[in-house]
Structure 1
């Protein structure tokens, strides 16, 4: 299954992102508002440079099966930027998407961040200093987070064949690299 292949082969990127964003501090309640601003800003830049390109690279078949209209995150994270008094930026990085499989790999990273973001939002809502924060991006699916992730994985695993695993992985690696390098 391609979802397991991606999980195994992107673990080092996932760990690097957790380290970059001081994720361990979320769970020991030492995560600060500045840490939160950094993670929101980086995710915003990642989405700014990728979301439209990813969605435009996916066929109508994937658009319907994945309910892409429900998966747009850029407008949500822009609300977070505004509430945190962070400024919008213009897209300055060039992200090349070679094919639909790479786009699916990139979407894997975004949907995975949503899954993790739900946990982050729950944890931070119990952390001092986050009382007035509205988690538009991290809480985007609310109680449907598990369902949306499961649906995404099922479509990915049923539609992507083994000969395309490396292309999907390439897309995931490209987007993780962008996330880890945008500032």
Structure 2
């Protein structure tokens, strides 16, 4: 093994990119955040993230070492999605109900049984905070939505988002990049998290996919 190969093998973030690249492409093709975004479709995407994150966040927190839990608590984003859904007040349809069921099933099959697995799963959600910001100006132009009313989730932490991503990269390498067992667990969890998100969002274009639940 050359020095270059060894560096690549032990640097966690490039390895995570390699092991999840096709899955990242799959979810981008599914969500199509750069395409024109009708308001109802946007609401379904928000619903999917909210349903997923409100189940995922407690599990990641539990898997992380106690010393990292305050760090994680400062980064949770499900409250942003809940705020947007309340602001938009869109009627639920069959796709919303289907995504709720899909998120529950997808999270049931996602193993987060070690700190390294939590870091790998976090890689997916932390990275999505960067990509999601491309949507906010389009939603402002198309629907008049702002971070204060309807785009809090995709706006996220605003100007701090880039710095938070760099902080995560450093922490991920420290916490899960030094040992091959941890690197492998992180990659497995990252891929599994992408698959869980893809399963959650499968109904996003399928209005009427399932009957809405009665209140």
The TM-score normalised by the length of structure 2 is 0.73
CA contact (8 A) 2:111 2:189 kept: no
| Pick aligned residue for 2:192 from 166, 174, 178 | 174
Q: Which of 56, 60, 72 is equivalent to 1:54?
A: 60
Name the CA distance, whole Å, in 2 between partners of 1:166 and 1:122. Answer: 37
Answer with 1 or 2: which has the greater Rg. Answer: 2
Supply the distance in 2 between the matched residues of 1:35 and 1:54 (Cα, whole angstroms): 28
Deviations 1:11-40 (A, max 9, x none): 111111111112341xxxx22213312321
| Deviation, structure 1 residue 162 | 4.3
For the pair 1:8 / 2:18, whether they are aligned, the reply is yes
1:40 is the counterpart of 2:46: yes
Report the counterpart of residue 156 of structure 2 in structure 1. 140
How many residues matched?
176
CA distance in 2, matches of 1:144, 1:15: 25
Aligned position for 2:133: 118
- What do the CA deviations read for 1:61-98 (whole angstroms, capped 9, x no partner)? 3335xx21211111111112222325695873313312
| Cα root mean square deviation, aligned | 2.2
The residue number in structure 2 matching 1:108 is: 123
Contact 2:88 2:150 in 1 (8 A): no
Runs of at least 5 residues in structure 1 that lack an aligned partner in the other structure: none
Q: Are 1:128 and 2:142 matched, yes or no?
A: yes
Unaligned runs of 5+ in 2: 1-10, 204-215
Corresponding position: 1:79 with 2:79: no
Taking the TM superposition and a 5 Å limit, the aligned residue runs for 1:14-33 are 14-25=24-35, 30-33=36-39
Q: CA deviation at 1:134?
A: 2.6
Question: Is the Cα contact below 8 Å between 1:46 and 1:175 reproduced in 2?
Answer: no
Q: What is the rounded CA distance, in whole Å, between the counterparts of 1:168 and 1:139 in structure 2?
A: 27
Distance in 2, Cα, partners of 1:54 & 1:122: 30
Alpha-carbon deviation of 1:166? 1.4
Could you tell me how far 1:108 is from its partner in structure 2?
0.9
SS in 1 for 2:112: coil
- Secondary structure of the structure 2 residue equivalent to 1:71: coil
